[in-house]
Structure 1
Amino acid sequence: MKKKSLGLNAALNGFRNILNVFFPLITFPYVSRVLQAEGIGKYNFANSIISYFLLIAALGISNYSVREGAKLRDDRKKISDFASQVFTINLISTILSYILLLLSLIIFKNLQPYKIAILIFGLQIFFTTIGVEWVYTIFEEYAYITIRSIIFKIISIILLFLLVRKSTDYLNYVGVIVFSSVGSNVLNYLHSKKFCDIKIVFKINWKKHLKPILVIFATGIATQIYLNSDITILGILKNDYIVGIYSVSSKIYGIVKSLVQAMVVVVVPRLSMLLGKGEYKKFRGLLRQVTSALALVTFPSATGLYMLAPQIIILISGKGYLRGVSSLRILCFALVFSVFSWIFAYCILLPAKRERFFLIAAVVSAFFNIGLNFILIPLISENGAALTTCLAEFVMFIIIIFYSKDMLKGVYDSKFLKEFLTYLIGSVIIVTICLVGNILFSYNIAKVIFDVIFSIVTYFGILYFTKNQILLRIIALNRI
C-alpha cells in the first residue's frame, strides 16, 4: 500500500471537521432561534439518550479494528477476513442495542415525551454499523470521506431550511440530522468494497477479538457517561430551558474540541503500525510532533474561546443564550485537559494494547463526574455541569499520564519545552489583544474580526520568529 502523507490526511480530516463545524455554524443560529431553548433542550436530551445505545452497538469495534487492521491492510485476504469477522460482531451488538432501546422506552415512563425523537435518532444505530467508518481510517482514506461530507452537508442544509420553520418542528430537525448520517453510511458500505470484501460470517475467532473489544467498549461506555451525563442529569434535575442553555455552551465546546482533535484520529493507524513493527524511535518521533502540533492549536483555541465567549454565543444563538457564557468559559479549561488526554490515550495506550488502563481512567472519571453532577447541578445548574466536566477531564488526564509515563521517556526534551513555552506566551498575548478589542469596538462582529485577525497574525508571528519546527514544516509544505 502506498504510504500516505500524515500532514495531508490531517488537513483533510481537519477540513472534514471544519465542514462539521460549518454546518452547525450555518444551521444552529437559525435552529436555536426557531426552536427556542425548550425545543433545543428536547432535541439534545433525546440525542443524549440515544448516544448510549449507539455506544452499545459500536461495542468498541472501531478503535479495535483500526489498531489491529492497520497491521493487515497490505494483505487483502487477511484484511477481508478480519473485517468480515468484526463486522458480524458489530451486527450482533446492533441487534442487542435495539432490544435494550425498546425495553428502555417501555420501562422508563419519563422517556415517553421524547419517544418519537428517540426512535428517529435510533435509525443511526443500524446505519452507523453498516457505515464501517473504521475501514477508511485503517486505509487512511480521508479524501473520499471529505467529498462525501460536502455532498450530504449541502443537502442537509437545504432540507433544514425547508422543513424547520416553527418552534414545533424539532422532530423535523432530528430527521434532517439523521438523514445526513444515514446517506453517508450507505455510501460508505458500498464504497468499502474497493479496499476489502466485507460479508456476514459464521466462523469468528471469539477468543482473539472479544476480550479487547469488550475492554475498549467498557472504556467507551465510561467515557460517554462522563461526557453526556451532564446533559442527561440536567434534564432530570432541572428543565428543558436549562438543558437548552447548557447545550449551546457544550456544542460550541464540542465543535472546537473536534477540530483540535482531528489530527489524533489520523495518526493512530500509523502509530499502531510502527509499534507493531517495533519501530520505537519513529514512534516516539511522531508522538512528539503530534503533541507539539496539538499544543500549538489547543492553547490559542481555548484562550480565544474564553475571551470571546459572549460574542460567540450572541453570534451563534442570540442574546437569549447569554446565560451560557460562564459555563462555556469553564469548559475552555476542560478543552486543554481533554485534548492531551486524547493524545496519550489514543496514541499510546490503545496502540500499545494497554486499553485496560484506559478503562480504569474512564471508569474513575465517570464515577467522579456523575457524583459531582448530582451535588453541583442542584446548586449552580449548568455551571455545575460544566465544572464537573472540567474536573473529570483533569482526573482522566492525570490517570492516563500515570499509565503512559514509561513510554513517554525520551519523547519530550528541552526543545519541546521551549516550543510549549512559546505557545503559552502567544496565548497570553491573545488575551491582551482581546482586551484591547473590547475597548476599541462596541459591535460584536467588529470585536470578533479584530481579535481573531490580530491574534492569528501575532501568534504565528511569534512562532515564526522563534523558529517553531511544526510551523516551518507547514510553511515549507513538508510532509510529516
Structure 2
Amino acid sequence: MNKKSLGINAFLNGLRSVLNLFFPLITFPYVSRVLSISGIGIYNFSNTYINYFILIAGLGIATYAVREGSKYRENKNKINEFVSQIFSINMIATIIAYMLLFATLIIFKNLHNYISCILIFSLQILFTTLGTEWIYTIYEDYAYITIRSIIFKILSIVLLFLLVKKPEDYLIYAAITVLSAVGSNLLNFIHVRKFVHFRLTTKTNWRYHLKPILVIFASAVAVTIYVSSDTTILGLLKNNYAVGIYSTSVKIYQMAQSLLSALLMVTIPRLAFLWGKKRITEYNQVLSRVLNSLGVLVLPAAVGLIMLSKEVVLIIASKKYLPSVNSLRIISWAIIFSIFAWIFSDCVLIPAKRENLVLRNTIITAVENIILNFILIPFMSYDGTSLSTVIAEFTVMIMNGYSCRDIIKPVIFKKDTLKNLLDSIIGCVGIVVVCLLCDYGFNSLILKTIFSLVLSVIMYGAILILLKNKNAYSMLDRAKIILKSKL
C-alpha cells in the first residue's frame, strides 16, 4: 500500500469537516423561514431521537475497527477475515437498533406524531453501517469520501431550494438531510471492494472482539450524556432563552473544535498501525509531530476566538445573541484542553488497548460536569455552563495524560516539544496585541475582523520564524514548494 501523506489527509479531512459545518449554516436560515415552528420541532426531535439508535447500531465499532484493522491492512487474508467479522457484528447491532426503535414507536404513544419523520431519519441507521467509513480510515483514503461529500452536499442544497417551499415540507427536508448525511454510503459500500473483500459470517471471534467494543461503546454513551447534559440541565434550571444563548456559543466553539480535530483524525490509523506493529520509534516520531503541529495551531485558534468573540457572534448570529459573547470567551479555553485530551485518548490510550481507562476517565468527567452544572448554573446561568465545560475538559485532559504517562513522557518532555509550546505562547501574545490595536483602529465590523485575522496570522507566523520554530520553518518550506509547483 502506498504511504499516504498526513498533510494531504489532514487537508482532505479538514475540507470534509468544513463542508459538514457549512451545510447547516447555509440551510438553516432558509428552512427556519419556510417551515413552520412545529415542523422544525418535529424535525429536530426526530433527528435527535434517531441519533440514540445510530449510537446503538455503531456500538463503538468504528473506533475499535480502526485500531485493530490498521495492524492487518498489509495482510490481505487477515484484513478480509477481520472486516468480515466486524461488519457482521455491526449488522447484528443494526438489527437490534431497529428492533428497539420499532418497539419504542409501538409502546410510546407520544411518538406517534413523529413516526413519519422518525422513519425517514431511520434510514441513516442502515446506511451508516453500509457506509463502512472505518475501512477508508484504516487505509487512510480520504480523497474518495471527501469528493463524494462535496457532490452530495451540493446536490442536497440544490434539492432543498427546489423542493422545500411551504411549511408542510419538513418531511422533504428530513429526506434531504438523510441524503446529505448518508446518501452516498451505498456507493461507499460498492467502492470499498477496492480495498477488501468481505461477507457476512457466523465465524466471529466474539470473545476477542466484544469486550473492547462494549468498553468503547460505553465511553461513547458516557460522552453523549456528558455532551447533552449541559443543555438539558440549563433548560431545567433556567429557561429557553438561556439555552438559546448557550447553544450559540457552543455551536461556534464546536465549529473551531471540529476543524482542528479533523487534522487529528487522519493520524489515528497511522499511529494505531505503528503501535500494533511495535514500531515504537516511528510511533513516537509521528506522535511528536502531531503534538507539535497542533500545539502551533490550537493555542492561537483559541486565543483568536477569545479576542474576536463579539465579532464572530455578530457575523454568524446577530445582535440579539450578543449575551453569548462572554459564554463563548469562557468556553473557547476548552478547545485547547479537549484537543489534547483527544490526542491522549484516541492517539495513545486506544491504540495501546487501554480503552478501559478512557471509559473510567470519561465517566468521572461526565459526573463532574453534571455536578458542576448544578452548582454553577443557578449563579452564572449559561456562563456557568461554559465554565463547567472548561473545567471538565481540563480534568479529562489531565486524567488521560496521566493514564498514558509512560508512553507520552519521552515525547512530551522533549526539548523541541517544550520549546514549541513556549513559542506558541509568545506568538499568542502577538495575536492579543494585534486584536486590541484593530479594535481601537476600526469601527467597521467587517474591516476589524478581516484585519484582525490577517494581521494576527502574519504576526504569529513572524514571531515563530524569529524564534526559529521548526514547525513554522517546515510549513514555510511546504508553502514554497507548492508555490514553485504552481508557477
Common topology (TM > 0.5) = yes
* 1:171 CA drift (Å): 5.2
* 1:260 CA drift (Å): 0.4
Distance 1:236 1:174, change over 3 A: farther
In structure 2, how many angstroms separate the alpha carbons of the residues matched to 1:165 and 1:410?
59
In structure 2, how many angstroms separate the alpha carbons of the residues matched to 1:347 and 1:68?
13
Partner of 1:363: 363
* 1:319 CA drift (Å): 2.3
Partner of 1:451: 452
Query: Which stretch has the larger CA shift, 283-292 or 240-249?
Result: 240-249
SS of 2:81's equivalent in the other structure is helix
Partner of 1:441: 442
In structure 2, how many angstroms separate the alpha carbons of the residues matched to 1:34 and 1:304?
35
CA contact (8 A) 1:41 1:243 kept: no
Distance 1:163 1:249, change over 3 A: farther
2:296 maps to 1:312: no
CA contact (8 A) 1:41 1:247 kept: no
Partner of 1:300: 300
Deviations 1:310-331 (A, max 9, x none): 2222222222332322322222
In structure 2, how many angstroms separate the alpha carbons of the residues matched to 1:230 and 1:50?
20
* 1:345 CA drift (Å): 0.6
Partner of 2:211: 211
Query: Which stretch has the larger CA shift, 361-370 or 231-240?
Result: 231-240
Deviations 1:80-117 (A, max 9, x none): 21111111111111222233334445666776776655
In structure 2, how many angstroms separate the alpha carbons of the residues matched to 1:57 and 1:164?
30
Deviations 1:362-414 (A, max 9, x none): 11111222333344445544333323222221221111011011111221322
Query: Which stretch has the larger CA shift, 143-152 or 195-204?
Result: 195-204
2:15 maps to 1:15: yes
Deviations 1:37-73 (A, max 9, x none): 9987776555444333222111110011111111111
In structure 1, how many angstroms separate the alpha carbons of the residues matched to 2:435 and 2:389?
26
Distance 1:55 1:178, change over 3 A: same
Partner of 1:56: 56
Distance 1:236 1:125, change over 3 A: farther
* 1:467 CA drift (Å): 2.4
Structure 1 gaps of 5+ residues are none
SS of 1:411's equivalent in the other structure is helix
* 1:168 CA drift (Å): 7.1
CA contact (8 A) 1:226 1:389 kept: no
Deviations 1:186-232 (A, max 9, x none): 22111111111232111111011111111111111111211222234
Distance 1:49 1:228, change over 3 A: farther
Task: Report the residue type matching 2:214 in the other structure.
Answer: L
Distance 1:109 1:295, change over 3 A: farther
Distance 1:392 1:184, change over 3 A: farther
Query: Which stretch has the larger CA shift, 174-183 or 164-173?
Result: 164-173
CA contact (8 A) 2:65 2:86 kept: yes
State the TM-score, normalized to the length of structure 1. 0.91
2:154 maps to 1:146: no
SS of 2:183's equivalent in the other structure is helix
In structure 1, how many angstroms separate the alpha carbons of the residues matched to 2:464 and 2:389?
31
In structure 2, how many angstroms separate the alpha carbons of the residues matched to 1:241 and 1:165?
29
Please provide the CA RMSD for this pair.
2.7
CA contact (8 A) 1:426 1:462 kept: yes
Deviations 1:305-360 (A, max 9, x none): 12222222222222233232232222201111100001111111011111111111
SS of 1:352's equivalent in the other structure is coil
SS of 1:409's equivalent in the other structure is helix
* 1:177 CA drift (Å): 2.3
Partner of 1:430: 431
SS of 1:410's equivalent in the other structure is helix
In structure 2, how many angstroms separate the alpha carbons of the residues matched to 1:332 and 1:451?
17
In structure 2, how many angstroms separate the alpha carbons of the residues matched to 1:379 and 1:39?
35
In structure 2, how many angstroms separate the alpha carbons of the residues matched to 1:105 and 1:368?
34
Partner of 1:185: 185
Query: Which stretch has the larger CA shift, 227-236 or 334-343?
Result: 227-236
Partner of 1:289: 289
CA contact (8 A) 2:56 2:94 kept: yes
Task: Report the residue type matching 1:14 in the other structure.
Answer: G
In structure 2, how many angstroms separate the alpha carbons of the residues matched to 1:104 and 1:237?
28
Distance 1:212 1:298, change over 3 A: same
Partner of 2:404: 404
Identity rate, percent:
52
In structure 1, how many angstroms separate the alpha carbons of the residues matched to 2:117 and 2:376?
29
CA contact (8 A) 2:295 2:420 kept: no
In structure 2, how many angstroms separate the alpha carbons of the residues matched to 1:296 and 1:37?
44
Distance 1:106 1:266, change over 3 A: same
Deviations 1:246-298 (A, max 9, x none): 33222221111111011221111111121122221111111111011111111
Which residues in structure 2 correspond to 1:98-113 (within 5 Å)?
98-105=98-105
SS of 1:477's equivalent in the other structure is helix
* Larger relative contact order, structure 1 or 2 (CA cutoff 8 Å, min sep 6): 1
Distance 1:439 1:33, change over 3 A: farther
CA contact (8 A) 1:433 1:454 kept: yes
In structure 1, how many angstroms separate the alpha carbons of the residues matched to 2:245 and 2:361?
29
Query: Which stretch has the larger CA shift, 269-278 or 32-41?
Result: 32-41
Query: Which stretch has the larger CA shift, 163-172 or 129-138?
Result: 163-172
Partner of 2:341: 341
Query: Which stretch has the larger CA shift, 94-103 or 327-336?
Result: 94-103
Partner of 1:262: 262
* 1:433 CA drift (Å): 1.6
